[in-house]
Amino acid sequence: MCFDSLNSADNWVYINMKRLTLQDLQTFKATGEAITCVTAYDYAGIQMAEDAEIDILIPHDWGIGTALFGQTSSSSVTIEHVLFYLKGIVQSVRRAYILAPLPYGAYEISNEQAIRNAAKLIKEGADSVILQGSGIVLERIVSLTEVGIPCMGYLGYTPQQVKKLGHERVVGDTAQEAVTLFNDTIAMEKAGAWGVILQNVPELIAKEITDRTKLITIGLGGTRGCNGQMALMHDLLGWPLDTMPLFSIKYADFFHRGLAALNTYYNEVQNLVFPEAQHTFAIADADYELFLKEIKKES
């Protein structure tokens, strides 16, 4: 038999693991338990995150654009792309809460457009959707909340607006920008959002927002002082990237470890070390003789 078994329950398959809900996340904020959140796109990544008991998984559109597609931004990422990677999370998730982004161009035009696309994400299995920015987005959050779609806002440096904002930078390090940011979060809370991702916001400002609103705040990039933290899995694990986040924070070096393993594999194959008998199959001598006789007849 070639594989252990098609139907075997592998030791990493957990059954009946209870999924986190929005209420659980709100309890975390109330009790001061830090929330962790990472980007995830594939079975292996999801298994690592679940084994580390990460609370929230996101098929992050910026990560799809940069880490997965090798581009410099998330501008070309569509709702279909997000749905494709979301599907993998939904199929393999055990405990984590699933947050799905509405990508650039999928919610700006009208409330109707936002509801249609957000509904696609919810139908695929997302627990909540993310919308970047303020202004018109507040109206979208009102509409989505009205139809029962939980909304997470996203303020500070919002990568979907890269063409307007320019290169990744800190947002809210001047009093004026910080006040706008603060007012936007108040408006976002009023619009019905349950939380907000704050990217590259100074700790003192993020802390004020966290303390003065009911929003669950998740810090991303250089943002500290929130109820939780989000990290980009590719950056954290040291996968090779062309477009590096401004606040790159590595916990592992997958690139060099992965590369060394591939080159060992290469050398073992060239030297006929791999595959060994255990990696292949034998034919009985009698059958092999019969096989040789048969193919001789053919030629």
Partner 1 sequence: MSNQKVTVPHLLSLKGKRKILNGSVMDASMAKIIDASNLDMAGAGASTAAMIIHGYMTPIPATLEQVLVYLGPIAKAMKRALLSATLPYGTYQASNEDALHTAITYMQAGVDSVKIEGTGRMIDRVHAIASAGIPCMGHVGMTPQQIHTTGRYRSVGKTASEAVKVYKDALLLQDAGAWMIELECVPWKVAERITQDLKVLTMGTGSGTGCDGQGLMVHDIWGLRTPVKPRLAKQYEDLHTFGVNALSRFKNDVKMHKFPPDDKVAEISDDEFKQFLDTIG
Cβ 247 vs Cβ 220: under 8 Å: no
Where in 96-155 is the site for partner 1 (CB under 8 A)?
Answer: none
- Among 79, 102, 170, 188, the residue binding partner 1 under the rule CB under 8 A is 170
Query: By CB under 8 A, how many residues form the interface with partner 1?
Result: 111
For position 9 contacting partner 1 by CB under 8 A, the verdict is: no
- CB of 279 vs partner 1, minimal distance in Å: 5
The separation between CA 10 and the C-alpha centre of its own chain, rounded to angstroms, equals: 24
**Alpha helices, H only, 192-282:** 203-212, 233-237, 254-270
Decide whether 80 or 139 has the Cβ nearer to partner 1: 80
Measured CA to CA in angstroms, residue 105 lies from 70, 79, 158, 163 at distances of 20, 9, 14, 13
Where in 177-216 is the site for partner 1 (CB under 8 A)?
Answer: 178-179, 182-183, 200-205, 208
Decide whether 84 or 113 has the Cβ nearer to partner 1: 84
Decide whether 34 or 109 has the Cβ nearer to partner 1: 34
Decide whether 16 or 270 has the Cβ nearer to partner 1: 270
| Range in contact with partner 1 (rule: CB under 8 A) among 117-125, 132-140, 141-149, 165-173 | 165-173
Where in 17-46 is the site for partner 1 (CB under 8 A)?
Answer: 33-36, 38, 41-46
Cβ 39 vs Cβ 66: under 8 Å: no
**Can the peptide bond before residue 275 be classed as cis, meaning omega within 30 degrees of 0?**
yes
d(CA 106, CA 249): 30
Task: Name residue, tokens 């004020």.
Answer: 208
Cβ 96 vs Cβ 50: under 8 Å: yes
What residues does 195 pair with on adjacent strands?
152, 216
For position 48 contacting partner 1 by CB under 8 A, the verdict is: yes
Where in 238-297 is the site for partner 1 (CB under 8 A)?
Answer: 239-242, 247-249, 251-252, 254-255, 257-266, 268-270, 272, 274-276, 278-284, 286-288, 290-292, 294-295
Where in 61-80 is the site for partner 1 (CB under 8 A)?
Answer: 67-71, 80
What residues does 128 pair with on adjacent strands?
99
- CB of 59 vs partner 1, minimal distance in Å: 10
